[in-house]
Structure 1
């Protein structure tokens, strides 16, 4: 294929992509099949110990939440038992996840709020504006030191409450999620085929992938194997893991003390240069920015790529799928690899947004809602959320819960949306379809991520100036990244472009605002 034609196609795709893809990054699992649902806990499913008093009336709660699978019947076996155990009567408006941001903004603009509104991004400008206008309860005094809400205190990652603060106040209940989530995997059988060791550095990783893509690992006689697979811009889910190896998860300040946005740091530029080399050597697909998520998943599941950074729990499912066409397939999670300025270990923010209570709700009802949130923020409820009722939704096989056909139908990702969950680092690692020995080994192998990984600080801090300014430049910047990677512009030209953005007064003001919020939340 003509190089200039490929480059031009890539740039056009980037410009189109920037118009249709939002900034949110959802880590929720989509689908209602067991293979699409990560596990929370694989111990015996105990009955929740936070039982309501016998004479206590169920709390009625109206919620608006995102939907990641079929809209559930709240009268089915799972939801009937959930409401019984949690002493609640739920009325839920399920909004398709792809439409949720639009619906969320419309509801805020209308002022007609449900009692509890889920926000998947706590730095969303429309949410912050509504909070400042008094649309939601300030929960700071009601929560106090959390002594009256012991589960929300002990079963939430310690830093989350600080991440949630706006001007020193707490307005939301965190939707707890694990730190350990996305990691870089690789086809171990292909490493073995070419007598390559498991990479421990980014240089070894790059060299291994260059060898694999040039060696026809699937033996089909075609030069069609992708080294690093991704979807969206740049690789979407995998960006932070790679950037971490270049020091991009650390705070980078300019000469004026401003906190530079991660994608405009020298570290990100170094990562772009690294991808440029891989693209030149055929490790990235020629039109990698055009690959959609469903296409990428299908490519990986059919053995056409060596490495793909996604949720760790998916490894077992994909390995089983790949074995259907390549029986020797073995997929492993790579350990944190040493890069030029860090390691390839990215920690997800330990919350996927928060739940906010409308100011129109009376204070007594607010306390009832908080009691429900605390009552359900246990590992027992979280485990029930993944496996349902023993004998109905799951059976025990070798001490591990295995979903029944009814369980696969009724126990879906939508079950996550109506409570805080209990923080744990298992739910995005364990796969309910995998043998216990596999899950135990996988969990043990990734614990090191919590020791060396970093979260992206920009997931919990915001800047009004950045929000107003960046959309004007985002498409142009994405185009420049694509041009740099495919070789249409030099790295010097790309660096000069980034320097030009960083020198603009509005960017400097945004960086000043970022720095102030960083100090408030992290220092």
Structure 2
């Protein structure tokens, strides 16, 4: 599969987000430097996923943001672990907020809503982008092609870097057991077994989890499933005998990954209840020093380490280098966008255009820099040539959803460096993960679509997830799981979907 790479230099990360409340305030008089011309004040409602604390929309950061960008925000923050469920319910109700974030542009419920006319077709409004130069030039070069549905643009992509997710490891525990940093998947599994069979936290109990997971359809081990699947070659296009492109979940590669997790589960490396653990619980287990490995955004390493140090002062959290598997390296590059914003068709056309103007004004390097660091003298000060967050800045920026409601300009440092960390730490972290871009793969199924798949997969999704869990925990044999997958792949509907995937892949990833 074609690997997306770029050499553009960037800045920052996206600070995580918040809990489900309504919030809003602010007026404005002038646009920030580097933005489009001033526009009429805009009052707009968003529904977005949140990942951290509830924001105070009246604090210095948000007040300035709303004033400078001439917008009054009414935001419904939904906890990230509940977001997809709430998203589906909102779409089903028809009572869609003015702007809604879709975490995945290929989500069947979203695609069905798009086809049913729930959102504005932005293609004629955007035109040749002559009125939206920031949206065009400050995003990844192919991003607008990636977000198309049936050749049309319905969503405004949330620009994000390729280097993002990483598998974390407690380096201090490796040192305690005289273990080297693993370089293969087999070494990784053996390393975790040694740790869980020992007593790394010194509490006299064998209660440490090796790899912490969380229950989420198609994403069983936090944000690390794609990294493992990449190592099994499952992020490359896998074709059926008739030329269809098999969905990643139903490939032999994914089955091999399930078998790998089954072995880890049998060895006591995985939490017994991995399939029902929520993201907030998984993070709490890791940050209280009860797990050895966890997959999340690279920039979180510093925060995780500082939190663990409160209970285990010698904690040292690293992002593992690429590990070799039977089909590749354990690095999933993110697609250059994290879902997209969709404007409800219930919004009048004039306001839809004003919302696009708001996105245009805020898709700049300057605005992304503000997103990452906030207000100088309030949220950050300059230390050794780097913006260093103040204690207030950590609360107002890092611990709040400052990147939730605008697309950001594309850059490839956003999810690596941490604005609360010292410059030396960030420089070392950037260097340690730079190789990711060379060996990692993106998930093409985050981009390509199949109308048939969209209509049929919801009928099988829960059953498939249950079968994966049963295979991992040993309630069914791997042969039984393989027979189940073979039966699905033999269905004429699935074969039709695979042909559609192949055609869309060829269109969106031309060689």
- TM-score band by shorter chain is 0.7 to 0.9
Equivalent residue number for residue 82 of structure 1: 65
- Choose the corresponding residue for 1:509, options 489, 496, 499: 496
- Choose the corresponding residue for 1:139, options 122, 125, 128: 122
- Choose the corresponding residue for 2:195, options 188, 206, 212: 212
What are the ranges of 5 or more consecutive residues in structure 2 without an aligned counterpart? Answer: 1-13, 20-30
Note closer, same or farther for the CA distance 1:415–1:223 as it changes in structure 2 (3 Å cut).
closer
Pairing 1:167-246 to 2, within 5 Å after superposition: 167-233=150-216, 234-246=220-232
Bigger Rg, which one: 1
Whole-angstrom CA distance in 2 between matches of 1:448 and 1:137: 40
8 Å Cα contact 1:178/1:348 also seen in 2: yes
8 Å Cα contact 2:155/2:343 also seen in 1: yes
8 Å Cα contact 2:301/2:317 also seen in 1: yes
Whole-angstrom CA distance in 2 between matches of 1:111 and 1:343: 43
1:470 aligns with 2:457: yes
Whole-angstrom CA distance in 1 between matches of 2:152 and 2:455: 24
- Choose the corresponding residue for 2:315, options 312, 315, 329: 329
8 Å Cα contact 1:185/1:308 also seen in 2: yes
8 Å Cα contact 1:61/1:369 also seen in 2: no
Pairing 1:24-39 to 2, within 5 Å after superposition: 29-31=16-18
Note closer, same or farther for the CA distance 1:358–1:216 as it changes in structure 2 (3 Å cut).
closer
Aligned with 1:371: secondary structure? helix
CA offsets 1:359-412 (integer angstroms, 9 cap, x no match): 566666555443332221112101212322112233333433344454445445
Q: Normalization by structure 1: what TM-score?
A: 0.83
1:63 aligns with 2:45: yes
Equivalent residue number for residue 261 of structure 2: 275
Comparing both structures, which one devotes a greater share of its residues to helix?
A: 1
Pairing 1:115-514 to 2, within 5 Å after superposition: 115-233=98-216, 234-359=220-345, 366-411=352-397, 413-514=400-501
Equivalent residue number for residue 519 of structure 1: 506
Residue correspondences, number: 480
8 Å Cα contact 1:63/1:116 also seen in 2: yes
How far the C-alpha of 1:270 sits from its partner, in A, is 0.8
8 Å Cα contact 1:51/1:85 also seen in 2: no
Aligned with 1:308: secondary structure? strand
Aligned with 1:219: secondary structure? coil
Whole-angstrom CA distance in 2 between matches of 1:190 and 1:105: 41
Whole-angstrom CA distance in 2 between matches of 1:310 and 1:203: 21
Note closer, same or farther for the CA distance 1:462–1:236 as it changes in structure 2 (3 Å cut).
farther
CA offsets 1:53-99 (integer angstroms, 9 cap, x no match): 5xx4534242323252666565543333223333x232424242466
Whole-angstrom CA distance in 1 between matches of 2:288 and 2:92: 45
Note closer, same or farther for the CA distance 1:143–1:445 as it changes in structure 2 (3 Å cut).
same
Whole-angstrom CA distance in 1 between matches of 2:360 and 2:198: 55
- Choose the corresponding residue for 1:96, options 58, 71, 78: 78
8 Å Cα contact 2:15/2:372 also seen in 1: no
Aligned with 1:415: secondary structure? coil
Aligned with 1:473: secondary structure? helix
Note closer, same or farther for the CA distance 1:470–1:67 as it changes in structure 2 (3 Å cut).
closer
Note closer, same or farther for the CA distance 1:70–1:491 as it changes in structure 2 (3 Å cut).
closer
How far the C-alpha of 1:156 sits from its partner, in A, is 0.8
How far the C-alpha of 1:344 sits from its partner, in A, is 0.4
Note closer, same or farther for the CA distance 1:57–1:206 as it changes in structure 2 (3 Å cut).
closer
Aligned with 2:402: secondary structure? helix
Q: Normalization by structure 2: what TM-score?
A: 0.84
Note closer, same or farther for the CA distance 1:153–1:331 as it changes in structure 2 (3 Å cut).
same
Note closer, same or farther for the CA distance 1:173–1:476 as it changes in structure 2 (3 Å cut).
closer
Aligned with 1:236: secondary structure? coil
How far the C-alpha of 1:271 sits from its partner, in A, is 0.9
Whole-angstrom CA distance in 2 between matches of 1:404 and 1:275: 42
Whole-angstrom CA distance in 2 between matches of 1:390 and 1:344: 38
How far the C-alpha of 1:446 sits from its partner, in A, is 1.1
What are the ranges of 5 or more consecutive residues in structure 1 without an aligned counterpart? Answer: 1-26, 33-46
Whole-angstrom CA distance in 1 between matches of 2:225 and 2:326: 16
Aligned with 1:237: secondary structure? coil
Equivalent residue number for residue 50 of structure 1: 34
Whole-angstrom CA distance in 1 between matches of 2:91 and 2:478: 43
Whole-angstrom CA distance in 1 between matches of 2:87 and 2:461: 23
CA offsets 1:397-455 (integer angstroms, 9 cap, x no match): 34333444544454454332322111122222222322111111101211221222122
Note closer, same or farther for the CA distance 1:221–1:470 as it changes in structure 2 (3 Å cut).
same
Aligned with 2:488: secondary structure? helix
How far the C-alpha of 1:245 sits from its partner, in A, is 0.3
